[in-house]
Protein backbone atom coordinates (compact mmCIF):
# COMPACT_ATOMS: atom_id res chain seq x y z
CA UNK A 1 0.00 0.00 0.00
CA UNK A 2 1.35 3.39 -1.04
CA UNK A 3 -0.92 5.94 0.62
CA UNK A 4 -3.34 6.08 3.53
CA UNK A 5 -5.37 8.99 4.95
CA UNK A 6 -7.32 8.95 8.20
CA UNK A 7 -9.37 11.62 10.01
CA UNK A 8 -8.36 12.19 13.61
CA UNK A 9 -11.23 13.83 15.46
CA UNK A 10 -9.36 14.80 18.61
CA UNK A 11 -6.03 14.60 20.43
CA UNK A 12 -6.79 11.11 21.71
CA UNK A 13 -7.29 9.87 18.14
CA UNK A 14 -3.86 11.26 17.21
CA UNK A 15 -2.23 9.50 20.17
CA UNK A 16 -4.04 6.25 19.36
CA UNK A 17 -2.89 6.40 15.74
CA UNK A 18 0.66 6.75 17.07
CA UNK A 19 0.09 3.75 19.37
CA UNK A 20 -1.14 1.81 16.36
CA UNK A 21 1.98 2.65 14.36
CA UNK A 22 4.10 1.47 17.31
CA UNK A 23 2.28 -1.87 17.21
CA UNK A 24 3.18 -2.51 13.56
CA UNK A 25 6.77 -1.19 13.61
CA UNK A 26 9.05 -4.17 13.89
CA UNK A 27 12.49 -3.14 12.66
CA UNK A 28 12.59 0.60 12.94
CA UNK A 29 12.15 3.03 10.08
CA UNK A 30 12.89 6.58 9.02
CA UNK A 31 9.76 8.67 9.25
CA UNK A 32 9.41 12.33 8.28
CA UNK A 33 6.64 14.30 10.00
CA UNK A 34 5.25 17.25 8.03
CA UNK A 35 2.67 19.82 9.06
CA UNK A 36 2.29 23.34 10.43
CA UNK A 37 3.07 24.30 13.99
CA UNK A 38 0.42 22.74 16.22
CA UNK A 39 -0.71 20.24 13.60
CA UNK A 40 0.04 17.33 15.93
CA UNK A 41 3.49 16.00 14.99
CA UNK A 42 4.69 15.83 18.58
CA UNK A 43 1.36 14.47 19.82
CA UNK A 44 1.56 11.68 17.25
CA UNK A 45 5.19 10.97 18.22
CA UNK A 46 4.13 10.74 21.86
CA UNK A 47 1.66 8.03 20.84
CA UNK A 48 4.38 6.12 19.01
CA UNK A 49 7.02 6.37 21.73
CA UNK A 50 4.59 5.57 24.55
CA UNK A 51 3.17 2.77 22.41
CA UNK A 52 6.67 1.30 22.30
CA UNK A 53 6.74 1.27 26.09
CA UNK A 54 8.05 4.67 27.18
CA UNK A 55 6.34 5.69 30.42
CA UNK A 56 7.23 9.36 30.81
CA UNK A 57 6.51 12.57 28.96
CA UNK A 58 7.36 13.22 25.34
CA UNK A 59 8.23 16.83 24.57
CA UNK A 60 9.51 18.27 21.34
CA UNK A 61 13.32 18.54 21.56
CA UNK A 62 13.23 22.04 20.09
CA UNK A 63 16.53 23.17 21.59
CA UNK A 64 18.40 19.88 21.81
CA UNK A 65 17.22 18.80 18.32
CA UNK A 66 17.00 15.13 19.25
CA UNK A 67 15.63 13.07 22.15
CA UNK A 68 16.69 9.41 22.37
CA UNK A 69 14.42 6.70 23.83
CA UNK A 70 16.00 3.35 24.60
CA UNK A 71 13.06 0.98 24.59
CA UNK A 72 12.65 -2.75 24.78
CA UNK A 73 13.85 -4.10 21.47
CA UNK A 74 14.18 -0.77 19.69
CA UNK A 75 16.00 2.55 19.90
CA UNK A 76 13.80 5.47 18.97
CA UNK A 77 14.99 9.00 18.20
CA UNK A 78 12.65 11.96 18.05
CA UNK A 79 14.06 14.91 16.11
CA UNK A 80 12.68 18.43 15.97
CA UNK A 81 14.80 20.35 13.47
CA UNK A 82 12.74 23.56 13.59
CA UNK A 83 15.67 25.54 15.01
CA UNK A 84 18.39 23.89 12.97
CA UNK A 85 20.37 26.63 11.26
CA UNK A 86 22.37 24.59 8.80
CA UNK A 87 21.93 20.93 7.81
CA UNK A 88 25.67 20.49 8.37
CA UNK A 89 25.13 20.86 12.12
CA UNK A 90 23.60 17.41 11.93
CA UNK A 91 26.97 16.03 10.89
CA UNK A 92 28.59 17.61 13.97
CA UNK A 93 25.91 15.99 16.15
CA UNK A 94 27.03 12.62 14.86
CA UNK A 95 23.71 12.07 13.15
CA UNK A 96 24.88 8.95 11.35
CA UNK A 97 24.93 7.06 14.64
CA UNK A 98 21.22 7.72 15.04
CA UNK A 99 20.38 6.08 11.75
CA UNK A 100 21.95 2.81 12.78
CA UNK A 101 20.22 -0.32 11.63
CA UNK A 102 16.88 -0.96 13.31
CA UNK A 103 16.45 2.40 14.96
CA UNK A 104 13.18 4.27 14.62
CA UNK A 105 13.71 7.91 13.66
CA UNK A 106 10.74 10.30 13.81
CA UNK A 107 11.76 13.65 12.35
CA UNK A 108 9.81 16.90 12.66
CA UNK A 109 10.79 19.64 10.16
CA UNK A 110 12.90 17.30 8.01
CA UNK A 111 13.20 19.96 5.28
CA UNK A 112 15.66 21.76 7.59
CA UNK A 113 18.00 18.79 7.30
CA UNK A 114 17.74 18.42 3.53
CA UNK A 115 20.86 16.97 1.96
CA UNK A 116 22.11 15.40 5.18
CA UNK A 117 19.17 13.32 6.41
CA UNK A 118 18.70 9.90 4.85
CA UNK A 119 15.59 9.36 2.71
CA UNK A 120 12.37 8.56 4.56
CA UNK A 121 10.65 5.18 4.37
CA UNK A 122 7.41 6.96 5.27
CA UNK A 123 6.27 10.57 4.91
CA UNK A 124 3.52 11.56 7.33
CA UNK A 125 1.58 14.81 6.97
CA UNK A 126 -0.80 16.24 9.56
CA UNK A 127 -3.31 18.88 8.48
CA UNK A 128 -5.97 20.91 10.22
CA UNK A 129 -9.54 19.88 9.31
CA UNK A 130 -12.27 21.81 11.18
CA UNK A 131 -11.53 21.20 14.86
CA UNK A 132 -9.65 17.95 14.19
CA UNK A 133 -6.82 16.76 11.98
CA UNK A 134 -6.21 14.58 8.97
CA UNK A 135 -3.17 12.34 8.82
CA UNK A 136 -1.74 11.12 5.51
CA UNK A 137 0.90 8.42 5.23
CA UNK A 138 2.91 8.03 2.02
CA UNK A 139 5.22 5.05 1.56
CA UNK A 140 8.41 5.73 -0.38
CA UNK A 141 9.69 2.16 -0.61
CA UNK A 142 8.80 -1.46 0.19
CA UNK A 143 9.50 -1.03 3.87
CA UNK A 144 7.11 1.93 4.08
CA UNK A 145 4.50 0.07 2.04
CA UNK A 146 4.56 -2.96 4.32
CA UNK A 147 4.14 -0.74 7.38
CA UNK A 148 1.08 0.86 5.74
CA UNK A 149 -0.39 -2.52 4.87
CA UNK A 150 -0.16 -3.56 8.53
CA UNK A 151 -1.52 -0.20 9.67
CA UNK A 152 -4.60 -0.57 7.46
CA UNK A 153 -5.55 -3.93 9.01
Residues that bind ligand ADP (CB under 6 A): 8, 10-11, 13-14, 35, 37-43, 60, 108, 131-133
Report the largest interatomic distance among the alpha carbons of the chain, rounded to a whole angstrom: 41
From the list Mg ion, ligand ADP, none, pick the one residue 118 interacts with, judged by a Cβ distance below 5 to 8 Å according to partner type. none
Q: Is 45 in the site for Mg ion (CB under 5 A)?
A: no
Q: Is 78 in the site for Mg ion (CB under 5 A)?
A: no
In the complex, the smallest distance separating the C-beta of residue 107 from ligand ADP, rounded to whole angstroms, is 12
Contact status, residue 74 vs residue 98, Cβ threshold 8 Å: no
134 or 143: CB nearest ligand ADP: 134
From the list ligand ADP, Mg ion, none, pick the one residue 34 interacts with, judged by a Cβ distance below 5 to 8 Å according to partner type. none
d(CA 4, CA 54): 26
d(CA 106, CA 79): 6
Closest C-alpha among 32, 20, 24, 2 to residue 107:
32
Amino acid sequence: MKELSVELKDELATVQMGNHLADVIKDGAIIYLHGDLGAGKTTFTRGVVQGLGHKGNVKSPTYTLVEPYELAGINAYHFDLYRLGDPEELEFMGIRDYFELNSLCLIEWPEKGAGVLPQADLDITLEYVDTGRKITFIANNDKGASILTLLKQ
